Each structure stands twice: as structure tokens, then as C-alpha cells.
Chain A
């Protein structure tokens, strides 16, 4: 029997859990599994949100990538530059190449500050920060400590962004932070979004807008940021509107990995790998699959999604190599703990077809959905342990299934049509 080589590009959440699941699924003689990443820092990205508020330290969020991989997985530190789907070859920056029988693209999303005028990567500015990088989050922590009053704008420049609730969570935590410092009455916090509401889907948008209002956080919608004027302290939209700031927390536009752009047919306009949204097989070639933030599937770019996708991708790689039809059961399931400040959080759970709804998860006796609770805050904080010890090794999470549960959710009643 032929020994297949499965190459996984990216050693983050999706790549690591895929490698570990595949290593368990295949004996050594059946498959060689190679993980490639350009650095050896595995960052627990959900932790970055807490760094600016002194609730987490960068050094506690980073572990070596290779250390998260089971024995029998090859780890290579290289930068992919291109994939040739015809010859099934990955090209690397150091001039080497690697052939594959199956390729898994797990290289996540890339921040594109250069896509917005004034938001260049060159050097941290005095009052424009992002918390989506370790350096940015650490810089923002110092900036918040210095901040004694004025207007803070929080602005995701364009969608999609990783963890789309994180910018809202930042607002909630900033509200709590300045209350704690007894400065809240001197700090104006404004959430500026390109969307026409606080969130993409209506029921959650209403609930989250309610929380913003309760916490006296202003909401500015339909704002397509064209320029960030750091020196002048202004966000300027493409249609000429302005929002002034003393401190801007900006989430740059996102795109896929640069090598995807250089591999014809693989990615969409933004560099996200075009896949079948139910099988996660690439449209470019049957032996390529994608997982996590790297895909173009219409659900959140979130670790929970990579976890749920993992099960489907392993099953489909096995089917593909066995010459069987693929399983199209991935439903876009995502769930996210939304930190709301003062030791509370709220949980949202949804998929391609069902928007985040109120109720309980994973069933009627579970955590409350779309409603603040102490438990959801504890769940979010406890999740870091589960991440390193259950999610990355590719294990199931207790009581949590890949398919979104319908039980426990309050289905909206359809408005009656005359």
C-alpha cells in the first residue's frame, strides 16, 4: 500500500488539530504528516483581547508550535510562496519544494493595514493601535494606562475579521476598565462599524446594541473607513464622514495568506481559499482541503469553527483517499463567548442557516444564550485550558457536538403575512 504524504500549511489552531487528528487516524505506514509554518510561536489568539486591560500577559499566550504536535508528525519551519495544484507541489521561500498527495491549507487570515490609508505597518503610532497582534495589544495596554480622558473609537475597518465579536468585547471591557479607574465620565467610547447594525444578524445585533446602550457606548454604523489620520485624530470614511478620536483601536482589513494569492484558482478576491462550504474541499483541486480562518465559508472566523470543521475535514480526507464520496455535513457551526465586562459574558451559537438566538446551550439546561451570565465569563476564561489540552490535540469537548444543536434555542416566530 502506498504511503500518502499529507502536507498541512499552517501550525495554528486548524493546522495543529488537523495534524493531531490525522496522526491518530492513520498509522505511520499509511501516511506521512508534515506541518509547515514560518515561525514557531503558537499564539492563543483569544487571549489578546485581555492584554490591553492587564488581564493577560503575552508570554502566557504563546507556546512552541512543535510542542503541540503528537509524536510522528514532521514539523518544518519554512515559508510557503506558492502552490502548484497541477503538479501537487508547494514551493518555499528558501527554494525547496514539497510534493503532496493531500494538502490542507490552514494558514489563517492575515492583517492588511496597508489596505487602509494611514494605517501602515511601519512603527506604532501615538494613538492608533490594534489589539490583533501581540505588539499592538502590548502597546495598547500602555496607551490605556496613560489615558486620562477623551474619546476612544473602536473600529473594524472591513469584514471579514477574525472573531467578529472581539471589537465589541473591547468596548465592553474598556467601559469596565475606566469605571474601575473612576474615569468613565471623562471617557467617551464609540463603536464605529461598516455594518448597518452592531452585528451581522438581526437578533444578536439587537441584543448587542442593547448592551452598548446600557453601557453608554455610542454606536456609529455604515462607516466605511477610507483613511485613518493618526496625527489629526480622525477616522475618515470613503463617503467623507469623520469621527474624531484621542485614541483609536482599529482592526485592519483581513485577507488570506499571500501564497494563496500567488496560486491561481485557489483563493477568492481576498485570498481566502474557495471551498465547498459543506465538505471543505477546495474548488481548485479535489486533493486540497482548507480549515479555519483560511477558508471562504460564510461563518465566523473563529477557533470554534476550526474545531468543528476538523471532524469534517478528517472524515473527508479519509473518504477521498479511500475513493469514497465526501460527507457534506459541515453546517457552519460556530459558538463564541462574548466578554461583556464586570465578570460577565454571553454565549452565542449559530450556523449557516440559524442566526444566534436566545435560549440555552447545548440544551435546555445549558448555558444561557445571548444573555449575560457569570457562567459564560467563567467559560471564556476556562477555555484557554481546554484550548491547549482538548482543542489542539484534536479531542472532543464534553457535551459539544460539531453539528449545531437546535434543542434549547428559541426559534423566532415568523411574522404573519397578510
Chain B
């Protein structure tokens, strides 16, 4: 699996680009992870979502899917897509350093 260096720390990502060891994530890495997803500036709104992703991962073992993310964060789905145009649940999970949110069958 590829090893990447963000903010001077090496981390292992899976083949889809998600953290395999979320505990190695630090806030300093987030802007670099965001840039890799084409997001050049992390606003307070982005951070609100990133923190929800991490909190949910720690509480439930997976980041939420989009509709649940909107409910928990209070950020409407449309706005989530404006913040993370390539898909809020997946991209925010990458920037928040958590594994790919698993969707149910």
C-alpha cells in the first residue's frame, strides 16, 4: 500500500486513498489532504464537517453517508456538495483521515 508524507509525517493510505490508521492523522495534514482532492482552502464550514466525520468514526466505527452527515452536521446536502464537490462523504472522510464510509447492502 502506498505511503504518503503529509506535514512531515508518513501515513499509509489504502488503494482508494483512505487512511488505514486514522490515529496517525493530525489537523496539520488536512490542508495537504484537501489539496490532493482539489480543495485549495479549508474554511470553518469544511472544518465543521471534518470534525463531525472524525467524531462519528470514533463513536460508530464508520463515517456517515451524505444524508446522515447533513443531519448531524446541520449543513444541508446541497451545501455539503458545494464544500466537497467530488462527494462529501468520501472526500471529507479522506481529509478527516478515516476509512471509506461503508454503505449498507
Which residues from chain A sit less than 8 Å from chain B, CB to CB? 115, 158-160, 164, 195, 199-201, 222, 224, 226, 238-239, 253, 268-270, 298-300, 334, 350
Do A159 and B104 touch across chains, with their CB atoms under 8 A apart? yes
Q: With A and B bound together, what is the CA distance between A195 and B64 in angstroms? A: 14
Cβ contacts A to B, 26 pairs, < 8 Å: A158-B66, A159-B103, A164-B105, A199-B105, A224-B81, A224-B87, A226-B77, A226-B78, A238-B78, A238-B80, A239-B81, A253-B67, A269-B64, A269-B67, A269-B68, A269-B72, A270-B67, A270-B68, A270-B71, A298-B104, A298-B105, A299-B104, A299-B105, A300-B104, A300-B105, A350-B105
Q: Is chain A's interface secondary structure helix, strand, loop, or mixed overall?
A: loop
Residues on B with beta carbons closer than 8 Å to the beta carbon of A164: 105
Q: Closest chain A residue to B70 by CB distance?
A: A269
Q: Which residues of A contact B105 (CB under 8 A)?
A: 164, 199-201, 298-300, 334, 350
B residues whose Cβ falls under 8 Å from a Cβ of A: 64-68, 71-72, 77-78, 80-81, 85-87, 102-105
In the assembled complex, which residues on chain A have CB atoms less than 8 Å from the CB atom of B64?
269
Q: Which residues of B contact A158 (CB under 8 A)?
A: 65-67
Residues of chain A contacted by B67 (CB below 8 angstroms): 115, 158, 253, 269-270
How far does the alpha carbon of A174 sit from the alpha carbon of B19 in the complex, in Å?
41
B77 touches A238 (CB 8 A): yes
B20 smallest CB distance to A (angstroms): 13
Contacts of B68 in A (CB 8 A): 268-270
Report A98 CB to chain B, min CB distance, Å. 29
A200-B104 in contact (CB<8A): yes
What are the 9 A-B residue pairs with the smallest beta carbon separation, nearest first? Answer: A269-B71, A238-B81, A269-B68, A298-B104, A300-B105, A200-B105, A160-B104, A159-B103, A239-B85
